[in-house]
Structure 1
Amino acid sequence: MSGLTLHLDVDRWRRHLRAEAGSTPGLVPVIKGNGYGFGLRRLAEESALLGVDTIAVGLPSEVDQVRDAFGKTVVILNPWDAHLPLAVELAEDPQVLTTVSRLQDLAALADLETRPRVLVEVLTSMRRHGIAPTDLDRVALLADRVRIEGWSLHLPLRQQGRSAEAESLARAALAALPAPLWFSHLPPGEAAVLASDLAAPGAPPVPLRLRSGTQLWLGDPGSRHTTATVLDVHEVSRGMRVGYRQRPCLSDGYVVVVAGGTSHGVGLEAPTSASSLRQRAVALTSGGLEAAGRALSPYTIAGRKRWFLEPPHMQSSQVFLPGNATPPSLGDEVPVEVRLTTVTVDQIVPTHAP
């Protein structure tokens, strides 16, 4: 075993997946990008085991990577684009449900002979994609030429005002055309209340579908950990120049070469939100350290996170270990903290609880 390795307690992970599926009515697992670190095909297979009838990918190009492992409906979340030949082709595929977020695109889909399956996205306070609530009545005019299977609403993560926005936009959509509501970032408890509130007196709750990605696949951090293989260890003395940039060592110690570089996503972590002045100051300070070549690495060696000697290389990284610490041996596995939504591991190794 060598490289960047994700150790996964498969039994515990699957217990979490089943618990999420059981508590999330209308669950639609989201499978996109790097597959949340697990890979698209594996998540498609896990979704099939959960017994759901629909999964969601981000791009048209991701459909082929999951359709063999999941034989039911595949939703494409990114808005349909008439300039993409693959998107046009997939819009006529009966297994595919296409998201449309512009009126002109809905009209173009309505011109296809196959009467494609579509989700119509409503513009939320995210201001990313969607048709404005004031224009939703124009969607109903095309309902006989496409199969509208629901309204899609992608809500912001911020909790304040979320339920009120969900209800307001849902009412606007249902007034234009009765159809199931597909939500992102709406907790099951809030969704259940909303479904009841939207229902007419004596009528059953409005059908809701809840998309889940991060919470579903990564919601139990205790089910996994990531390690990197020690590839080389070199003793160095103060002033010795090392690395591509030949920076001098500030003290005696060791250069530890570990698996994981830019091709894995190490050192390319997505930025975290910084809403307070203190958080922004920390972010600025961290950025200054990185610019000066003094970034703290995600690798833990001899009990502490250690500094990068320089930015990560393509497939490995060099970190500095002070001389008063015990160096690891060649082939040792050291802990590395990575964000699985931005990192590609070399291998996934099943583990079991002791």
Structure 2
Amino acid sequence: MTLKLTIDAEAWRGHLASIAQQVPGLVPVAKGNGYGFTIPVLAAEAARMGVDALAVGVPEEVDAVKVAGFGGDIVVLNPWRPGDEAAAAGLSDPQVVTTVSRAADVAEVARLAPGTAVLVEVATSMHRHGIPVEEIGALDLTGLDVRGWTIHLPAAGSIVEARKLATAVAAHPQGAAGVWFSHLSFDDYRTIASELAIPTRMRVGTRLWLGAPATFRATGTVLDVHRLPKGTTVGYHGARTPADGSIVVVSGGTAHGVALAAPATPHSFRQRLIPVAEALEEVRGRVTSPFVVAGKKRPFAEPPHMHSSLLFVPGPGEPARVGDEVPVTVRMTTTTFDRIDFAPAGP
């Protein structure tokens, strides 16, 4: 009995094709948990789409792309650093493009592995990685196979910032290799691509794979149903049922990422109140789960277990049967599914 992701293959692939049509020079991103789909599934889809490059996060993800049969360039987005053995191995791999983001690292990669294919990262208002714009002109890339310059913008990317940085890149002797953008709107990307006299590419992850949520769905499986009177102790911690009702045990727990959430920056007063409201619900023992049973999201009877969760459904009757599949709302980038099905058409 599993936590399952079911993908409407025709509808999902139609969405992917639509994005590829809107974004000339598309470079799909497949990193981490593969946005919930897994890296091998996304690598196979990238091959199906016919793109010539795919980006991963770290060197350890390269092999999963190769095993899936993707034959194009594999760009490692995390920048190379001295002492990283996995990254060092990629320098001699003709399929791997290494990201460099510091002048000292550029020189070291050229010394260690002349001819290495690299993508040069430019510093942006993200303040994460990159060559500062004022240092671009003096950057010596002799001995390296420069495949392009990457401009990784904040989530709401600014075309003004992108234009400024791309102009600085174009003035470099190796600027003709082109510029790779991320987090621009598709309209802004096409605009800036039409303005520049150098090649442009666009890395897309979330909007590509997760941009049509109606084309896939997550479900848990009902493993057990227990009718219990009010006040019955249940679970590891002996929580008491708040009323007559049922404990419904469903597949999906902490090992899958169920009910886990990444920190979010609150942008409004309402968003700041949400953690307070959630804490009050926890004190009252009524934390709402992401599982829908009998048409409603039901509270956890206690915190999720590793592979399953105990839910409480009040009232008489049988709210679910063993083997039923129930919808579950998950954060795709933190969820690991036991099974991924393509329906109605297979891979």
Aligned equivalents of 1:309, 1:233: Cα separation in 2: 13
Q: Secondary structure at the match of 1:263?
A: helix
Cα deviation, residue 259, structure 1: 0.3
Tell whether the 8 Å contact from 1:8 to 1:349 is kept in structure 2 after alignment.
yes
| Aligned 1:128-277 pairs, distance under 5 A | 128-139=128-139, 141=140, 143-158=141-156, 162-177=158-173, 178=175, 179-199=177-197, 206-277=198-269
* Inter-partner Cα distance in structure 2 for 1:290 and 1:107: 54
Give the whole-Å Cα distance in 2 for the aligned partners of 1:288 and 1:32.
36
User: For residues 299-340 of structure 1, what are the alpha-carbon distances to aligned partners after superposition, in whole Å with 9 as ceiling and x for unaligned?
Assistant: 001111011111110000011101246410111111111121
Distance 1:113 1:329, change over 3 A: closer
User: Relative to structure 1, is the Cα distance of residues 316 and 131 closer, same or farther in structure 2, using a 3 angstrom cutoff?
Assistant: same
> SS at 1:119's partner residue?
strand
Which residue in the other structure is 2:51 paired with?
52
Counterpart-to-counterpart distance in 2, 1:83 and 1:351: 45
Instruction: Give me the whole-angstrom Cα distance separating, in 2, the residues matched to 1:212 and 1:156.
Output: 13
Q: Which residue of structure 2 aligns with residue 27 of structure 1?
A: 26
Q: Displacement, 1:224?
A: 1.0
- In 1, distance between residues paired with 2:203 and 2:192? 16
Pairs aligned (count): 342
Answer yes or no: is 1:66 the counterpart of 2:62: no
Q: TM-score, normalised by structure 1?
A: 0.92
Counterpart CA distance in 2 for 1:124 and 1:291 is 43
Give the counterpart of 2:324 among 319, 328, 332.
332
Contact persistence 1:110–1:116 (CA under 8 A): yes
Using a 3 Å threshold, how does the CA distance of structure 1 residues 82 and 288 change in structure 2: closer, same or farther? farther
Q: Is the 8 A contact 2:23 2:190 kept in 1?
A: no
* Shift in CA distance, 112/292, structure 1 to aligned 2, threshold 3 Å: farther
Aligned partner of 2:108 in structure 1 is 108
Aligned to 2:5: 6
Q: How does 1:274-353 map to 2 (within 5 A)?
A: 274-290=266-282, 293-324=285-316, 326-352=318-344
Q: Cα offset for 1:273? A: 4.1
3-state SS of the aligned residue for 1:190? helix
* CA displacement 1:33-58 (0-9 Å, x = unmatched): 11111111111111111111000000
Q: Does the CA contact (< 8 Å) of 1:34 and 1:40 recur in 2?
A: yes
- Indicate if the aligned counterparts of 1:228 and 1:260 stay in contact, CA closer than 8 A: yes
Partner of 1:84: 84
The separation in 2 between residues aligned to 1:335 and 1:11, in whole angstroms, is 21
Q: CA RMSD in A?
A: 1.6
| 1:162-199 Cα distance to aligned partner (Å, 9 max, x none) | 11111111112222341310111123321221123333
Q: Aligned pair in 2 of structure 1 residues 323, 230: CA closer, same or farther (>3 Å)?
A: same
CA gap 1:276/1:325 in 2 versus in 1, 3 angstroms: farther
Structure 1: how far apart are the matches of 2:284 and 2:105? 48
Cα distance in 2 for partners of 1:349, 1:110 equals 45
Question: How far apart are the structure 2 equivalents of 1:123 and 1:315?
Answer: 42
Cα distance change, pair 274–113 in 1 and its aligned pair in 2 (3 A): closer
TM-superposed deviation, 1:138: 3.0
Cα separation, 2, equivalents of 1:284 and 1:91:
49
Aligned-residue offset at 1:272: 4.0
1:44-96 C-alpha deviation (Å, 9 max, x unpaired): 11111111100000010000111231111000001112211111110121111
Q: Counterparts of 2:284 and 2:149 in 1: how far apart (Å)?
A: 49
Structure 2: 5+ residue runs without aligned partners?
none
Name the counterpart of 1:202.
none
Write the distance in 2 (CA, Å) between the matches of 1:136 and 1:45.
Answer: 36
Q: Tell me how far 1:288 sits from its aligned partner.
A: 4.2
Using the aligned pairs only, state the percent identity: 48
Give TM-score, length-normalised by structure 2. 0.94
* Long gaps (5+) in structure 1: 200-205
What is the SS of the residue equivalent to 2:255? coil
Whether the 8 Å CA contact 1:4–1:227 is kept in 2: the answer is: yes
Q: Is the 8 A contact 1:267 1:311 kept in 2?
A: no
In 1, the alpha carbon distance for the partners of 2:63 and 2:302 equals 39
